[in-house]
Structures are given as C-alpha cells and as structure tokens.
Amino acid sequence: MPDPSSDKLNEQLHTAKQVNPENVGALTREQLTPAAAASPQGHDVPGHDHAPTDQAGLHVGHDHGPPRQIDHSGHDHDGHNHGPAGDRPYLVPGISLALLLGGIALDYFGAGFFTGSVRLIWYAVAYLLVGWKVIRSAVLSIPGGNIFNEFLLMSLATIGAFAIGEYAEGVAVILFYTVGELFQDAAVNRAKRSIRALLEIQATEVAVLRDGQRLVLDPKQVAVGDVIEVRPGEKVALDGTLQSERASFNTAALTGESVPQTKQRGELVLAGMINQDTLSQITVTAGYRDTKLSKILAMVQDAVGRKAKTQQFITKFARIYTPIVVALAVLLTLLPFFFVADYVLRDWLYRALVFLVISCPCALVISIPLGYFGGIGAASREGILFKGSNFLDVMRELDTVVMDKTGTLTKGVFAVQQVQPAAGFEAAKFVALAAALEAKSTHPIARAVVEYAGPAESALAVADVEEIAGHGLRGTVGGQVVLAGNARLLRRFGVEYPAVVDAQTDTIVVVAVNGRYAGYLTVADEIKPDAALAVRALRAEGISKLVMLSGDKDVIVQRVARELTIDEAHGGLLPEDKARYVQQYLAEGRILAFVGDGVNDAPVVALANVGIAMGGLGSDATIETADVVIQTDHPSKIATARRIARATHTVVWQNIWLAFLVKAVVLALGAGGLATMWEAVFADVGVALLAIINAVRIQRMNFSLSE
C-alpha cells in the first residue's frame, strides 16, 4: 500500500492530466517544459518536478504549496513559487501585451518616430519577454530527437513574421500561446493543493494506553493490538474494534451518509470517523497504512495517475504538419534555382517567408480553444464548471453515468416523511410530544422531527430528560413520561408495539407515552425535485446505462432507484466498493462519469473518465478532485453539461475545417507567388475572427431542459 503522504502525489499530479498547447482553457493540466519537449514521447515525462531545466526558470508557476507536516521532504518546504515574477506570473505577459497594444496603436496613428529600428526594437522587446522560452524549448528539444514540435513551428512562424515585417502578428501569436500555458499551470497548482488538503482528514496524533499510561503518539507508531482512546469530537486515527460499551460516530468521511452510527462493544470502528459523544477505547486491528482512510487517499492518488493522458489534436497535427511546411518552405526557396532562368534568391526567400506566415497555425491555435471557451462559458452560465476543455470532449462520448445517492439525487437533509399515530392518539398531539422531547437532542433525526412539528413543541414543559445511547430519549413532557427513539428503546422498557414497526425500511422514530405505544414517524432523505428530470434527460441524451452507488442501506437505495427508474443500484458500499464497481464498468469498455459530493466519493470521482462533483454542498476534496463541478447541486445539470459538450464539439470542428480549407487555398496561392501578406493575414487573422464569431454562437444557444 503506498503511503498517501508520499512524493508520489506530486509526481502523479504532474504527469496524470497533461494536455497540449491548444488546450488553453484547461484548468487541471501541466505546463510543458523543454525537458518534456526533448522527450522522444513528446510531453509526458514522469518526474517532471525534477527536470534539470527547473533552475533556468522554465518551470513556470511550479508551486510547492504551503508548508505542512507531511512525511516527506523536498516539496512542501517553503511554499515559494519558482516561476518568473514569483507570485505574479502574469506580470511579464501583461507587459508584453501592453507593448503590443501600444505598438498597434502607434502603427494605426502613423507616429513619425515609430519606424525603422525603433519599431523593430519595440516589437522585439514585446516578443522576447514571452517568446524566448519557446525558442529555447525548440532548441533544447533537438538533442532528444523531438525536432518538429509546436515549439519549432511557433518559433519559425513568428520569427518568419518578423523577417517580413509583420511584427505585431508574431508577438500576438507567441503571447497567446504563453498565456495559455500559464492558465494550465495555475490550475495544476490548485489541484495539487486541494489533493494535499485531503490528507488533513487523517488524524496526526493518537492517544495510546500502554502500561497504565496515556501516551500521545504519531499514528504510524501504533501497533496492531494497542488500545487507543478517542475523546468526544476527536477523529479516530486507526481502524479497530470498540472496547467501550457503546459509542456514536459520524461516518460521513467514509460513507458520505449524515446519520451517525451507533457502535456496540466489539463492532468495527474505522479511521476517519468522528466520536460524537462518549470517551471511547478502541483496540487497533490495522496499521496506519492499512486503514480504510489510508486506502481512500491512496485510491485518489492512484486513480488520478491512471487518468488517460489525452493526446490533443494540435500535437498529432504538428508532428506531421510542421516538417511538411518547413520542407516546403525550404524547397520553395531553393528548388526554383534549377528551373527559373532569372532566379533571385531574395525574391524566393521572401516568397517562402510569406508561405511560412500563411502556414502559421495561429488560426488553429485560436479557433480550437475559442470554441471550448464558448462551451465553458455557456456551461458556467448554467452553473456548471468544466476544469478543462478536454472534459467537454469526454462528456460528449459518455455512455454511462454512475451517481451517488445522498447529496446527489437526494437532498442530504433529513425530513419527516410519514406520521403514523396509534389508535387513540391524535396526530398533532402525538407529534408535539415527540418533538418536545427530541428538541433536547442535537441528533440530525431529532432536528428533523422538531422542524416538522414547528412551534407546537415549544409550549410543552420538558423535564428529567435521559439520553440512552444507541436507543433514544426518555423524559417527562407535559407531565407524561415519553419515550422517543428506535424499537430497541421500547423493548428495553417493556413497551409492546406492532410488527409493522420492525418492517419499516426508513429510519424510524417510535414513540411511547406512559408505557403505551403511541405511534411512529419515518425520517428519510428527500429526493431532489429535478432528480427524475435528470434521469429522463440523460436517457434522451443517449446515456445507455444509469447506476446508483451509495453507502446508505440497500433497501433504501433500491426504493429510490425504483422511484427514479435507474437501471442498476447498489447500497451499503464503502469507497473501495464503489471503486470496484467503477473499475468493472471501465473494464467493460464503458465511458463513464461518476457524480458525487462527499469526501468518500473522491476516489471514484478521480477514477472515472469524467468526475462530476455537486459543488453547492459537496466536500472541498471532491470538488477539487472532480473534472466538472455542478455549482447549483441540481442533478439535471448533468444532462445540460452533455448538451453543451455536444454543441461545443460541433462548433470546434467547424472552426478546424474552416481553418484547414482557407489555409489550404492560400498556401497553394502563396506557393505560386499569387498570395501577398494581405492574403496571409486573412488566412490567419481573418479565419480567427470568423472562428470567434462562430464560437460566440455557443453563448447564445438555449440548453434548458424541458419537463
């Protein structure tokens, strides 16, 4: 079992989710470095943190995160930033942009001094501020054999633009490319910090009872068989069996369910649970690295590492396109010498440079991310956050959606569902008696009863309240002895009740008054109003399989699944159980999204092709691990996200084909000497403007779902 606090986290997060330069909208991807460029495989270089080029400042925005006491060295030591401009990585690009805009303005107004060497130096400074790293990357990639890559194409095209006087275009292309890289790097840093925050769930110290003494130790120093002591409000540090008579634990970190679990002597207690009420003693049954919580954290890291590295379109294209264009430019310069009688090198060199400018991929570099920007912007207006443009692509390809229950399809807030008073008891009076007693408890189920009763319970005097752990409450309400709790409470006091009580599958509050059964209330998590719409819309969007995985009781899970017509449902699951099901679906070749909201969902959110988090009530760890965040907590937004993804795909490929067709025509004209710089500018800037207009269409589309 890998140590979840090891350096593996840094390496996996650096290498797991890389994309390429055109994915400017990506928010969880690593920036390329010359070390990556020099790799024969392109960009996917394990151990990216340790590239020797870091000291040259090429590791832009490499953030080591805030200092924390984690059992490793060399990464979390100072919280500083290695990128240029330190904590202001956008300062240098900002200066370059200001110089570019200033130069364009001076050109437009025909400033007398802005000519010749002054104009060249002005634009050269703007270019070198952001372009020298790309040029250096192109040079450093040559020894590794990775010559024809984006770095070379960007360098040749932009330097070619300078060579024929198109300074502004050269600066604009390289500036756009650099800013996109910074966007990617900033988001990778945030993801790294967020995953590290997940480690804080683990207890950092534990009280161990040895030889009659209470010792506070690191959990890693505790052996199997030791007895640990957990006070109310403390986290359980290690898995073990309860030695105390009974205790109540908040299990949300492991199961995602908000109802506390009452454990009896000898029952299993897991690391990550929080002791609710009484001082408890636990005999350790698993070492630190073998606890359920450690396995959850390890699964997050491993699942992130198993994410497929998406080879984006521009990289594949550039490996073919770049050498062809460069070879054609060289041939266009030299070959006419053998066939043209009045060959002039300067003229043919100029023609080749025009050809290179026309071939500059900036129209593609702009048109592809602009389409994704449009989709990401449309999604954000719908309360959906895509952390990378590639997730729009995967969202479109989904055939399976796997969902958690609590907090995803249900509200995660308990409410009274049914009131069933016994014969001879008036419903309103029965509820008032139960609520008056439950008002003395802070248990979530008690709060649900009190909220349902409203102000009626406040008029009743309550005295002699006794909380019986694992059973419920006993007290005097309005002069009557009232019991409120589970069926075990009534059995304990010898109160007979009908068999229907034991047959209930929902959480139940049974009430007795003066030793006589008075009725029961059922308390359950409510299904979200748009959950049924979400299921119908996903089916309409072509999702062939809908699955629900939950830590709640299986009988409750099956009932919710039947009500929502979900294809497959499984309850009573721990995080590793959910991960097992997801891995099974992935092994079957399914492309799936997992939708969840709790810390316990983080491993499967990371494991799925697309991890979706409910962002309104979801845990920070799950939200940051996820690839898509639904900020409104409405499950119907899953179908909306798919609609947006499909529309984005259409627009992006329209832009790609537009750029290809226009460039093909103008490249042919340029090779024949029929295209001037005007045509070259149209092939780049004109196509980019058309792509912008096309991408804006996404913002105007209606993605709302009909009931």
What's 420's DSSP letter? E
How many Å apart are CA 403 and CA 567, to the nearest integer? 11
Token digits of residue 201: 């769930």
Separation of alpha carbons 295 and 575, rounded Å? 9
Please give the torsion angle defined by the CA atoms of residues 144, 146, 147 and 150, in that order, rounded to the nearest 10 degrees.
Answer: -130
Six-digit token string for 605: 């959110």
Phi/psi at 390 (5° precision): -65, -25
Tokens of 24: 């400017």
Per-residue DSSP letter, 81: B
**The CA-based dihedral angle spanning residues 683, 686, 687, 690, taken in that order and rounded to the nearest 10 degrees:** -160
CA–CA separation, 153 and 329 (whole Å): 12
The H or E element that residue 431 is part of is helix 427-438
Strand partners, 472: 468, 485
- The residues near 692 (Cβ < 8 Å, ≥ 6 apart) are 366, 370
Q: Give the closest residue to 111 by CA, choosing from 101, 119, 100.
A: 119
Catalytic sites, residue numbers: 404
> DSSP letters of 392-421?
HHHHHH--EEEE-SBTTTEEEEEEEEEEEE
- Bridge partners (DSSP) listed for residue 227: 209, 283
Burial class (CB in 10 A: 0-12, 13-18, 19+), 337: exposed
Distances (CA, A) of 472 to 56, 452, 524: 66, 18, 17
Structure-token pair, residue 528: 């979200």
**Residue 624 and residue 611: Cα distance in Å, rounded?**
10
Residues 6+ positions from 338 with CB-CB distance below 8 Å:
none
Query: Secondary structure of the chain: what % helix, strand, coil (to 5)?
Result: 50, 15, 35
Q: Cα(247)–Cα(268) distance, rounded to whole angstroms?
A: 11
CA distance 23 to 311: 11
**Which run of H or E residues covers position 230?**
strand 227-230
